Each structure stands twice: as C-alpha cells, then as structure tokens.
Structure 1
Amino acid sequence: MTQRMSKSTHIFFLSLAFALCASFAMAGDRFVQPTGSSEDHVDEDRFEESILPVLENSCFDCHAGGGEEGGVTFDHLVEDENPAVGDPVLWNRVLKQLRTGLMPPPDAEELEPEQKVELESWIIDDVFRHDPENPDPGHVTVRRLNREEYRNTIRDLLKIDFNTSINFPPDDSGEGFDNIGDVLTISPMLMEKYIDAAQTIANKVVPQVGMQTPLRRFTPQDFNAPDDCIDDGRLALSFYKPRTIELDFKVDETQQYSLDFTLVLAEDYIENATDANRCEVKFFLDDEELVSEQYERDPWKRHPFEFAREISKGEHSIRIEVIPLTKEEWGRDLKIRFEDMVLRGPLGEDFWVVPKKHAAFFKKPIPDSDEGRMEYAEELIRPFLRRAQRRAPDDETVQRLCELAQRIWQKETGSFEQGIQQAMVAVLASPRFLFREEFAIQSDMNQYALIDEFSLASRLSYFLWSSMPDEELLKLAEENRLRENLDAQIVRMKKDKRFRSFYRNFVGQWLQARDVEGVPINSFSVLLREAPDPDIQEKFLRYGELKKKQKRRLTEEGKKEREALLKDLRPIFKQAGKIGLSAELRRAMRRETEMLVQYIVEEGKDVAELIDCNYTFLNERLAKHYGIENVKGREMRRVELPEGSLRGGLLGHGSMLAVTSNPDRTSPVKRGLFLLDNVLGIPTGAPPPDIPSLEESESAGHGKRLTLREALAVHRESALCSSCHNRMDPLGLALENFDPLGRERPDKSIDVSGELVTGEQFENLNQLKKILATNHKDKIYHCVAEKMLMFALGRSLEYYDVPTVDQIVERVKENNGSGSEMLNAVIESVAFQRMRHESGAELSKN
C-alpha cells in the first residue's frame, strides 16, 4: 500500500514549505538599484544649448508656465537654478510620445529630424544615465513556475501528464502575460495544492510494490477510432455524433479478470455559453452490456467503473457506442472521455508478476543493508534532484533527502520504495523546484554580471519551450560551454517539437489568440442585430413571451401569432447554427495566428508582414468560414490569397476580430485599442470616469439611431475622450467590414475610410495595412521587440530597458526586419544574459 503523510506531518510540511517559498521569493528583491536617480543633475551646457530651446518651442505651451496637460509639467527645468533631471519614468513617457509621433501635437512646431535625435539621445544619456560600457539588465523577480510551465516541466522530468488546469487555480497576469514574476505570488492554499500535487505525481512515478497482478493498459491507438475521437491524447467521443468504436484483445488463461476505466464528462470551456444536449453511452465486453447510461453536461465529473468477470482463453472485444439524444444548439463542445482503461488479471496470486514499472525505475535489486540502501538512494536521488532543480545539486541537500528516505524505510510499515517516493515529494514541493532560482557569475568588471550557465539554460528553455532544460543544455552548463555553443543550441531548440509552446504561450497571450477558444460570441444575437428587418428584435422578444406560455392554453390568435413569428425567425435560427464558432473553428483561428508568427520567425520574414502580407494559414473549415475556395482537408497550411483579399495579416484574422468584439456586435474601440497596444505600441490613457456607454451614444441622435461611426463621434466631442479616440477609432472603424464572428459583411457600402492621428488618410483596409507596414514599420518592430523581451524576462519593461530594445530593433532593421533575428537578439541581449546583484550576494560557484 502507498504510504500517505499523516495529517500532522502534512501540516508541518505545508507550514515549512510555505515559509521557505515566501522567504525564497523575497530574495528576488536583493538587487542594487539602477545608477540613474532623480537627484542626478543634467549636463547644463548641453541642456541649455540643445534641449531647452526645443522644449520651449514645442512643449512649453502645454507643459510649462502652469500648464500640465496629461499630468506632465516641465516648470522645474526653468525655475530651478540647477535643475534636476526629474522622474525617469515620466521622461520615458515623453520618449514614447515622441517616438510614436504623438508629440509634439499637430498644432505645435514640428521638430527637425536632428532635433528629435538630439532630444532622444539626451533623454537616454542624461536622464536614464545609460552607460554603453555597463548597461543595466534590469531587475528580475525570482519567478514561480506558472501552470503551463509546471505541467511541461513535470512532463519532461517524469514523463507523465499532470493536468494543472484542473488541479491549480489560474495564474495572475501582468502586462498581458502569465509568466511575470511580480504577480506569480504563492498563497498557503496554493502551497498545499503543490504538496498534494507532489504526492500524487510521486505516487504515479515511484512503484510501491515488487509483485502485482498482471496489467494491460489500453490506449486510444488500440481502438479503431478516427482522429476526431482522440483529444489531448485521450479517447474522447463527441456528444453530438453517433459513434461506434472497437478494439480486439486476447487472453492466454481462462481466469478472473477486472476491467477498469473512468468515464469523464469533458468539455471545452466557453464563457457564458451553455449546452443542454444529452447522449447515451453503451460499453460492451464481447456481447455483454456493461454500461448503459445517459449523460448531460456535468463539467469534468468523473465516473469510475470496475467490472470483475471470468474471461475465457482466446480472442475478445471491447465496443463503445455513443448515441446523441438531442439536437440542441451547442456551445461547449461536450465529450465523453475514457481514461485509465486497464485489464487486470488473471487475479490469482499464482499469476503475480514483477511490474514493468518497478523494474524500469529500480534498475537493480534493492539492498538489504541500511548502508547499501543509502548508497542506492543517493544513486536515485542525485540525478533526479539535478534535473528538478535545473542545476548541479549540493551534497548537503542530497544527504538530507537520503536521510528523509531512510526515516521512512526504517519504520515498521515502511519500505525502500516509500522512502524514495517521499524524498521525491520533498523535491517537487521545494522552492528550488517551484521557483526559477538564478545566480550571477563572480565578476570584477561591473555590478551587472553574467548569469551563470545553469541560469542561462533555464532562461533559454522556459523562453522557447516553457519547460525545463533538457539533458544537452544541462550538460553544456555543467561544462561551462553553453555560451560558446549558444547559436547552435538556439537552432536545435527551434527544431524541437517543444518550440511549439513558444507560439502557444507567447503569441497566445501577446495577440490574445488563445482567448478565441473561450470568447463568448452569440451567432444568433449577431444575426438578429444585423438583420435587415428593423422590427426583428421586437419580434424575437414577443416570440419568447409566447413560447413561455407553451404549457398553457393559447388562444387560436396567439398560436397563429407565434407561428408567424417563428416563420420570420426560423431562417436566423438555421443560419446561426451554421456560422457559429465551434470548438474546431476556434482552434483553427488560434492556429492561424500562431502559424503566421511561426512562419515570420522561422523563415526570417519581415516582422511587418504581421500586418501586411498576401498569404495566411487555413484548413477547409476556416477557409469556408472566410469564404475562400479550394482549400480541402483538416490540416492547416499556408495559402496564397487572391488579389484584393482582406485576410492577409493579423487584421484579417478571425482570432483578433472575435476577441475584440462584444458577444452580439463589433467594437471598433476594442479593435483599435488592440492594435495600438499590441502591434504599434502607441500609448493610450485610461478612460475617464462617467463617460456614456456606446449604447447611450447610439441613442443620442434625437430620434434617429446613430451608426457606430456617428456614435464614436459623440465620444470624441469630449476633450477628455478625443485624444485617445482619435488614435483608436480610425483603426477600429477600418475593420467594420468584419462582423464579430470574423466573417466579411456582405454590405460593401460600409464606410471604413479614415485618417490616422499621424495624418495619413486611407479609403479601405488594404490601404491602411500598407500605411502601417511602411510608414510605421519602426513602431511595429519596437512593439514586438518589447513584447518578446517582456515574455523572455518575465517582467515589465522600464526606462532602463529602452537602450536594450533599441539595440534589438537596430539589429532587426539591419537584417531586413527578420523575425528570426529578433528572437536571437532578445536571447543575446544584456537583459537576458546578465542580472543585477548586490555586493556580497550569493554568486554561482561555477
């Protein structure tokens, strides 16, 4: 039997582990501060001769002499006899406004190119105190593994899949990413979940018995099941399609056997969506019906089954049938999932065998002597600890873990296997597994030393794979040869299948592509809102009133009214079922966006093709949704687009169009804000309080319902709203050719023309894409570089990161905008390769 921790031991372990994790996380704050300070003073000659005249001509009208638009004032620069630089964070805002063309405003005197260069240089050199010989890598908080990283790490460490989505709460996000160290806190409840998870994982990995009943595990590949019956490596049959699948197996003895499996009511989560469908499940062993049950949605409810039967020698079969019972509109993609299907037996002790799992884990006989067991325990624990801690273990820690195992096996009811298991639990619940600890190499050159090679290995693997370093990275780190082989390792890691995690996690969060799998879009409400019949919504409400009275007696007149209303509504009901965003379609939309970035990175294409290109990535289902012909099959592939197509680039992707919409209508504001934040890097402020909703603006037309364009114009009438809406609205309105489902609207008369805040005018979406990809290419490079660096470092970017981002962008520009060079430049940057540390702080011994 598996030994579980007693309640008192569990509480003690929990308290100790939480205290260790809390103190360990706090250690991330032991860093020196950047060299710049608000008390540093400017170079007076340079300021007086080159900077002050520029500020006076272009900035002081709004930001001096009592003016402080946007909360920015420069009064101190002229009032103080020896003016201080001021807040670097404020000047970082100034730099951002300057580079994105928002300042000076159109009605102010425009800066000459050399003036702009000088002002930018002064901010970086004098205000930020950037030292090219000793660049600041910034502060990185010691980071906890997030759910995705934990799951992948357990997979690569122990070859098992632990579903963190079910067992752990969602991670907090910062700057749009869930790997930001400052928000990855740990609570007592989460610490307890980590301890429980460690126990569960160790139970699965470490075999507890030396002899057991023979066991045969059936996998999805054993069944004659089509691809759509396999989900996440498990057998999963849809509620909505009739299916019959079978497998054949053979037994060599007529004996008692036990057939065990777990039926799980799985689903894809979609916010605010429901599903009232039911199905019947039948499970047969040969011709005997073992299960005949009806099921409806019951999120992730598990139903274990165990059947003991005498099975005769020879050939036998298992048959599973799923029979849909309803045809309701569905939105959660319900499935019947079969897990842990095993055939145990023969059950008699005469047939017991040494488990393959035991022989694979304990590769030699377990010694009888305590001394021999301690030696063997170290043989097992040291390499596991090395991989779990992602660096060479120290002897003291190995010794403590061996002594823990020894205390377990020396108990009257204990065993060597249980001791090893509990040592593994201790490792998996320890701070050095749960957190990514980093060390600096001792350096006499400056305070910003290189991180050691084990830390570099972890930064690389969690950036590119969202998982632990593999054996090759660890071995190179041990030999201090990782940096000299860095280019080759980057190439190797990008070829590994684990590199897919980079696109799923980085692109999925930066461009919100993974949100499309759960964003609530109601196809019926969309069609109802856009129907040409102006009275259709009132008809739907009236139909709902009459439908509620079905169980009562309606008058003949009421019945006729209901039938007439249904006749008007039936085409919308029918069409909504056809165009709805199914789970399959949502996955294809997500992959389209991931594959675009993947193509740009791996083929070294211009990052600006993110906005403007003549291709996209489709399968038959997504192509049909887009109205693109001659794409067949379920496989996603690169497709050249016809002349004039709107689908090239992110602005035509269903993922972006859906996640920036409301459930029943488009949102030009959300779409415009998305592009400003995630593609162009143009800053916007928070919306002012007490602004009217868009619905209120739409109703402000003195008896006439306003169009979206007219409603947004009402918002811009307010001075508080105009600055941000002038940036967002032209971008968002240019996408009004697409509905919330990401389909092109048939109405070609929609006005999508506009003028950008920087002055360029456009008549249609393709013109806008050309303008953005040409005139604003530098903004795109800077924004993408910032997002990628942020994801790589797991922290927000600050003013001292500006030179690092500039260097990355300069390298990208020198290589024709190459996405591949951007990835390499992030890895080779100062911020990725170095760290702050204080004098006397713990340094790497390597």
Structure 2
Amino acid sequence: MRIGRGRRGHLEITAVAKLTGLALSSAFLTSTLMVGQAKPAAKPKPALKPTFEREGQAFVKKYCARCHGADPVAGFDMTKAKTVAMVQAAGDGWDKVHKNVASKHMPPQGTPQPTKAERDLFLKVLNEALSVNCDLADPGRVTLRRLNRHEYDNTIRDLLGIDSKFAEDFPSDDVGYGFDNIGDVLSLSPLLMEKYLDAAEKISTLAIRSMARPNGFIVAGYDVKGGGASAEGAGVNFFSQGTAVAEPQIPRQGLYTLRITTSADQAGDELPKLAVKIGGETQTVEVKATRKEPQVFEIPFKSSGGKVPISFAFLNDFYDEKLPEGKTDRNVAVVEARILGPKMGAVSEKSPEGRLGLGAYPEDGKERDTAKAVLARFASRAFRRPSTADEVERLVRVYDLGHKAEGTYEAGLRLGLQAVLTSPSFLFRVETDPKVKAGNGLLNPYEMASRLSYFLWSSTPDDRLLELARSGAILKPDVLATETKRMLADPKAQALADNFAEQWLTLRKLRNFQPNPGQFPQFNEKLRESMLQETKQFFMAVVRENKPSTDFLDGKYTFINGPLAKLYGIPGVTGDEFKRVELKGNERGGVLSQAAVLSVTSNPTRTSPVKRGKWVLENILGTPPPPPPPGVGDLGDDNAILSTKDLRKRMEAHRSKPECKGCHARMDPIGFGMENYDAIGRWRTADDGIKIDSTGILPDGEKFAGPSQLKAILMKNQGQFIRTLSDRLLTYGIGRGLDRSDDCHLDAIAQKAKANDYRFQSLIVAVVQSDPFRKRSPEKKP
C-alpha cells in the first residue's frame, strides 16, 4: 500500500490531539483533588514504526553518502530524498538502489558493510516508500505505434502474399528500452513517408496486374508497307501483295490468343494465303471466306508483356480479266484482329489476386461497384478493423482518379490500393481510449487481436483472430490462452526469434562483429551466420517445445552444424545442416556458453569481462549498472592484445578507483567467470601458456570458479531471471517502457509462470493475460 498524507489524515491527527488534550486536563484536575496520593507508574512509550525518513536516511548517511552524496561520484544523490514523496518522485533511481542493496552489490566491497538487520530494515522502509496499491495498479497507455520495418514487410506478406523486403530501403528504426517496436521512438519523417509512397506504388503494381477482358482488345494502328494494302479502321484490306504491321501493348506475361476475322474475294485455283507473324513466329493460313461469309482463325501465342509486333502479309495475289465476273480478282482482308487473354486458370487464394478477391474482369458497367467491394474488403484487412462507409467512399473517389487518368479498371484499383497502404490506419496501430468514466478499460476486440498478432508474429491478425474479434470472444482470458498456444505453433512465430530474441540477447550486434583475422582466422561469414542460427534455433526450441524458461540459463542441448561443431570441439556433426545435440560435461549449456552471445560481448582481439558481466546484469538479472561517471576513462585500447593475467591486473587497477569500484565489483567477477571462452566462443583452459583464472567473488561474498558454478548461482536465483524475462517480454509485447506501477503486474506474471515450472508458453500466456497487455488507462486530463 502506498503511504500518503491527505486531508483526512490531518483531521484524524487533530481529533486525537483534542482528545489527548481533554485527557490531560482531566488528569490534572484529578491530581489536584487527590493531593497526597501516590502517582501511578508511567506507561512505557510504544516503539515508533520504522520510516524511510528516519531509519532509511540514517542508513544512507552511514553507508551511501560517500559516493551518493551532494556531489555524487556515482551519479545519483541519495541524500536529497528527505520524504517518501521525494523518493517516489525519483522512483527509477530508488528502484535501482533497492535492487543493488538487495543483491548486496551495494554498498560495494571494501567499504563499511551493514549488518543483515540493517540491510533488511533499509529494504523494508524503502520498499514501503516505493510500493503501490496493486489493486489500483495502472495498466498504462501506449503511444500510437508505427509499424517498424520488420512488421511492415511481414504485414505486406500476409496481406498480399508478396514476400519482398520493401522496408530495406526505409530509414532504420530507432530503439527504445532495448527494442525497435516502442511507440515513443517510432517517428515518421518526410523521408520515410516518401519511401512509403514508393513502396505502395511497387506493391500495387505487383498485386494488381492487367486482367483478361471477356472480349479482349482490338489490334489497331497498322503501318502498311509495299503499297498493296490499305488500313481501314480496325482492319486491313489487301488488294495486292503487301504487308501491314502493328505493335499492340500486351499488358502482362501469359498465354494469349490472336483471333483474326477474315474475308476474301476468291479467284483462280488457290485459296488466298495470309501470313501471320507474331513476334518471331510465322504461320500461314488459307482463307476460305467470302465477303459475305467471314472466317475466323485463332492462333495461340506466349508473351512476356510489352509491345509485340504483329504483321499480316498477303502472299498470292491473282488477277485475270478473262475469267467470268466475280472470279477475276483474288483479294483478302483482315476485318478485325483481336487479342484475347491472358489465359488464367483458377486464381490461387494465396496469390495477390486471390487475397484481394479479384476473379474475372467485371461485367460492362460494373467496374466501379466491383472496385468498391474489393477496396472495402482490403481496407478492413489492412486497417485490422472494419473499414467505415466514409473511408470506403474516399477510396472509391481515389479509384475514380486512377481510372480517369489511365482509362483502365486496374489502374483505378492500383491507386486505391496505394491509398490504403499509405493511410495512417495501416501504417500505425491505433488504440482508442476505453469508453469508461473511471478505472481502466479493456482494449476493443480488434485492438486486442492486433496486439496479440504483432507480439507473437510481428504481423497482421489472421482470419481466425479477426473472426474472434468480430464476435468479441478474443477478450476472454481463456480464449487468449488458446490462441497464444495456436500462434506459437505456427511458422510465423519465428518472428519471436527474429525480433524479440535478437534484441533481448543483443544478437544483432553480431552482424558488425569483426574479430582480428590474424588471431581468429577461422571466423568467416558462414561461421557468423551459424552462430546466429544456433541461438535462434535454441530459442525456438524452448518456445515450441514449451521448455522451462530456465533452459536459457543452462539447457543441456543446442543446435549446431559442422563449422560450430569444429569450433566447440563436438564430434559427429559435419556439413551445413543444423542438428540437435545433447550436451555433455560442464563446458556448454544455455545461451551464456553460445558463440553468438560470447562474441557480441567481446572485443576484436580479446574477451571483455566488463562487457560480459554487464550483459549478464542487464539481460539476465535485470540490474543494469549506471553509465560510467564522466572522465573516468576505460581500460585503454579495446584492440590491444592482452593475456588474461595482464587483463586482470589492468581491471584491478581500474576497479581501485572509488568512482569505479561499485559497478565493477558487480560486473567484473561475472565476466571473469566466463573467461574460459575466448573472443569467438572457443573453450580454453590456458592463454599463451598461462592457466585461465575464472574465479570470482560476488558482492555478497559468494565465491565461484568457472562458468558452471556461475550458472549454478544464477539458477539458484532463477526467480530474478524470470522476472527480468517477464519484463523484457512485456515491454516488447505492449511497445512501451515499464515503470514502478508495472511491478505488481510483473510479480503476477512471474507467479503464474512459477505455477507451471516457468515453462515458456506459460510465461507468454501470463503476459498476454496481464492487465497492461489487455487494458489501457484513459487519458488523464490536467
């Protein structure tokens, strides 16, 4: 319960004071009337309840003020907070104080240490000062969230079946709280808007190709050569030998049919012969037609699209005036040439046309109505909610503009599609305030479907989620649990590894890691990719097999291929294909012993105990150290080649500085516990003939030797790791940073997961069923 001092409290104190005053007056009167009688023994004063103002500040003065005083060398003045209100005003800093004192990282070793009773009392009063009423805990509000680059590409893939990396041309997304899907940092620059417009044009062209008209289109615009023919409207009349050429525009690749309607004047012993050339292929037809009875020929041809030359040539002109009237002159005519196609089979539901609902070309006069239905359906999918009548009418007006500009149904549809793909309702995930006068309301069903799909798939909701949103069933916690498990079994859940795991474990840094080629000649692009895939496949095994989340600390299995097996010294695995292997011994187990993590926490020429220790504090224990004080400097050249013995000496000298001691006392022992792994993750017992010293002493005095004992300590404190993982998942899932008001929710998530042995799917379900994921607090008016 958060302790406050309101008007009611002052009234109660005043009332007690008045009552006490009356009691004293009565006692005084009685004593004057009973002169000579013995005074009753005084009652002992009740013990005062410990408070932060008294016991807390006494602890700060005794143990903390040296580094955290008025001129704090460690960056946070703890002596300023004289009251509970002042502690709450600087809550984030005091949260870190609580974590560091509880973990015995503070006060640092080498400085006066509190007794267990002193430490426990300080933590108690500080916890009371920071605590909130969990019954009134605020679920928070998420800033309007733009789709990041990964979400944009995945959404286009699932909307239209076009799996291209359009977003690679977009500016990089900013990162906040460790992730690139945080609403507060996903801005929209003019350059990005220009990229959205370009991408929408490309996507619309790929999605909506020219459609087959029921009656095709007529070939026209003939160029007559040889003087033996004349072009008349859409036809050509050959009165002597000659050639007529046209170059119609074929809309798209496909199989077409050239339908030729001919007529002729028959004369002589032969039928009129007409050579038809399409592209590079020629076919000669004999025309039996007369002027009154035309004859139709159909010639199939393939085209890759674009302009295709089509020519007609009359080959056997004939004239003999001696013959009877009507039999003297042989002529031929192309009354009409019409191109039909492209020939289309059944439209696949997975194709862009199928996803848009495009079938046969609309009947004459029905184009606008059909376009309206297509755009309304697509807008509802793209906006992740039912499109409104007003939105659809605006899209139809855009269709009209495209149709008028280019004269085709397809051009209008393409422009309408571009309007949808550049709409704020598509580019942003909009969440409206709940319609409640007080308290915290649930998201609406469509907003819930979007939160769930972008959390687990980094993409738009599928048909099942949208149907559950339409019925409202998705708001039920048990339905959320069922859908979560279904979605985690779907191949699209790979997005959790690609986007959550890569950022939580800082794996994206691996792409820029360049170890010294002289020291590590075996490192190449194939090994880099293998390192990344090992950790991602391990992560997805924990997800899909519903393993305990503690497997991330010491799971005795992994996924390796030939290059990794050689790096790790594991026999029996060759080639590029990854295989699951069970790990034996104490050298490997969990992400801390995987080459990807060990590499991103190293320097190009050597390991970095500081980086590795800091990585564990941030990503495993959730107790990140503060930034180093200004002007402190570092160990020197990160590229310097140092033996582990020299490195320890340098770090010990660095740690002797008072302003560095506190944080390095936490980081360095953890990092040195991982020194058996070199800068690219190989196991070693010696460096340049000197035995590796992987011993360490934690701030609480606990000693360990090597990574296996370090992991045993982490497993012993697995509750802290689970809370950290819960924090990371909730931050990623809702797209905002967490604060003290979320502590109650994190505790509840961790407790639910604990009841199921911390299995990963149980942890995900607990996140999805939590209030911050399902609810949104209304806007607080000033």
Aligned counterparts, 1:285-434, within 5 A:
353-354=341-342, 356=344, 362-369=358-365, 372-409=366-403, 411=404, 413-434=406-427
Deviation per CA, 1:78-115, whole angstroms, max 9, x where unpaired?
A: 5x799885433333333333444334556332444974
CA distance in 2, matches of 1:696, 1:491: 49
1:210 to partner: Cα distance? 3.5
CA distance in 2, matches of 1:828, 1:177: 21
Aligned counterparts, 1:419-458, within 5 A:
419-444=412-437, 446-458=438-450
Match in the other structure for 1:138: 140
2:125 to 113, 116, 119: 119
CA distance in 2, matches of 1:139, 1:580: 45
Match in the other structure for 1:305: none
Q: Check whether the contact 2:139–2:777 (CA below 8 A) recurs between aligned residues.
A: yes
Q: Check whether the contact 1:611–1:773 (CA below 8 A) recurs between aligned residues.
A: yes
Deviation per CA, 1:570-610, whole angstroms, max 9, x where unpaired?
A: xxxxxx2xx12333x22221122123333333334332321
Aligned length: 626
Quick one: which amino acid aligns to residue 105 of structure 2?
L
Quick one: which amino acid aligns to residue 686 of structure 2?
D
Match in the other structure for 1:607: 549
Match in the other structure for 2:470: 478
1:670 to 611, 618, 625: 611
Q: Check whether the contact 1:453–1:477 (CA below 8 A) recurs between aligned residues.
A: yes
Match in the other structure for 2:682: 743
Aligned counterparts, 1:71-220, within 5 A:
71-73=75-77, 75=79, 85-103=88-106, 107-112=112-117, 115=121, 118-119=124-125, 121-125=127-131, 130-208=132-210, 210=212
Q: 1:146 to 1:811 in 2, by over 3 A?
A: same
1:758 to partner: Cα distance? 2.5
CA distance in 2, matches of 1:177, 1:707: 36
Quick one: which amino acid aligns to residue 426 of structure 1?
A
CA distance in 2, matches of 1:206, 1:403: 18
Q: 1:179 to 1:86 in 2, by over 3 A?
A: closer
Is 1:597 the counterpart of 2:593? The answer is no
1:453 to partner: Cα distance? 0.9
Local SS of the residue matching 2:550: helix
CA distance in 2, matches of 1:153, 1:697: 41
CA distance in 1, matches of 2:100, 2:418: 52
Q: 1:699 to 1:367 in 2, by over 3 A?
A: closer
Local SS of the residue matching 1:49: coil
Is 1:752 the counterpart of 2:746? The answer is no
CA distance in 1, matches of 2:684, 2:398: 67
1:732 to 671, 689, 697: 671
Match in the other structure for 1:463: 455
Q: 1:783 to 1:693 in 2, by over 3 A?
A: same
Deviation per CA, 1:746-776, whole angstroms, max 9, x where unpaired?
A: 62711111111232111222111111211x2
Match in the other structure for 2:778: 837
1:395 to partner: Cα distance? 0.8
Local SS of the residue matching 2:581: strand
1:778 to partner: Cα distance? 2.2
Local SS of the residue matching 2:554: coil
Is 1:682 the counterpart of 2:593? The answer is no
Query: Identity across aligned pairs (percent)?
Result: 33
Is 1:796 the counterpart of 2:714? The answer is no
Q: Check whether the contact 1:134–1:448 (CA below 8 A) recurs between aligned residues.
A: no
Q: Which has the larger radius of gyration?
A: 2
Match in the other structure for 2:59: 58
1:686 to partner: Cα distance? 0.9
Q: Check whether the contact 2:598–2:681 (CA below 8 A) recurs between aligned residues.
A: yes
1:67 to partner: Cα distance? 3.2
Quick one: which amino acid aligns to residue 433 of structure 1?
F
Deviation per CA, 1:619-653, whole angstroms, max 9, x where unpaired?
A: 23311221101224533333111223x12111210
CA RMSD of superposed structures (Å): 3.8
Match in the other structure for 1:580: 523
Unaligned runs of 5+ in 1: 1-34, 215-257, 262-307, 314-341, 528-575, 842-846
Q: Check whether the contact 1:38–1:84 (CA below 8 A) recurs between aligned residues.
A: no
1:147 to partner: Cα distance? 0.5
1:467 to partner: Cα distance? 0.4
1:815 to partner: Cα distance? 2.5
TM-score by length of 2: 0.72
Q: Check whether the contact 1:40–1:85 (CA below 8 A) recurs between aligned residues.
A: no
Q: 1:777 to 1:202 in 2, by over 3 A?
A: same
Q: Check whether the contact 2:2–2:130 (CA below 8 A) recurs between aligned residues.
A: no
Q: 1:834 to 1:73 in 2, by over 3 A?
A: same
CA distance in 2, matches of 1:700, 1:41: 66
Match in the other structure for 1:487: 481
Local SS of the residue matching 1:831: helix
1:819 to partner: Cα distance? 2.0
1:447 to partner: Cα distance? 3.1
Match in the other structure for 2:31: none
Q: Check whether the contact 1:63–1:72 (CA below 8 A) recurs between aligned residues.
A: no
TM-score by length of 1: 0.67
Local SS of the residue matching 2:134: coil
CA distance in 1, matches of 2:3, 2:171: 40
Unaligned runs of 5+ in 2: 14-46, 217-249, 254-277, 284-302, 311-336
Is 1:720 the counterpart of 2:659? The answer is yes
Local SS of the residue matching 2:448: helix
CA distance in 2, matches of 1:441, 1:608: 37
Match in the other structure for 1:235: none
Quick one: which amino acid aligns to residue 354 of structure 1?
P
CA distance in 1, matches of 2:678, 2:84: 59
